[in-house]
């Protein structure tokens, strides 16, 4: 029997994997992908909760999350290209001018 708890557990696992990925990867595009993974994990939890509570609000929130994620990706990738254009590097560690 598959209960919402299964999906939520999966969501937790994916979220943690995404979080660790953000921390360990240096390629900015991959970092973005990890962020997307975290958002997807959250979405899964929302949808599972919606099913659990027998309401559609969770699904709608997931929908909004997707919209926001799309906007974030567009702007983030634009930033990325301009950084790449200036520094010839997509590594997040190279963009460290704002420091002590």
CB of 11 to another protein, least distance (A): 9
List, in sequence order, every beta strand (DSSP E) within 14-71: none
Please give the C-alpha separations between residue 97 and each of 12, 37, 83, 92, 93, in angstroms, as whole numbers.
34, 28, 12, 11, 10
Cα of first residue to Cα of last residue in the chain, in angstroms, is: 55
Q: How far is the CB of 59 from another protein (least distance, A)?
A: 5
- Residues 28 to 87 in contact with another protein, rule: CB under 8 A: 29-30, 32-34, 36-37, 40, 43-44, 47-48, 50-52, 54-57, 59-60, 62-64, 66-75, 77-82, 84-85
Q: Taking the complex as a whole, how short is the minimal distance between the CB of residue 14 and another protein, in angstroms? A: 5
């Amino acid at each position: 029997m598959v209960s919402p708890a299964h999906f939520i557990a999966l969501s937790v696992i994916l979220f943690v994997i995404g979080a660790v990925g953000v921390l360990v990867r240096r390629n900015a595009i991959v970092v973005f992908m990890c962020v997307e993974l975290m958002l997807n994990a959250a979405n899964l939890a929302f949808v599972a909760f919606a099913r659990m509570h027998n309401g559609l609000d969770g699904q709608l929130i997931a929908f909004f999350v997707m919209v926001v994620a799309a906007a974030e990706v567009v702007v983030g990738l634009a930033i990325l290209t301009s950084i790449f254009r200036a520094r010839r590097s997509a590594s997040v560690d190279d963009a460290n001018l704002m420091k002590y």
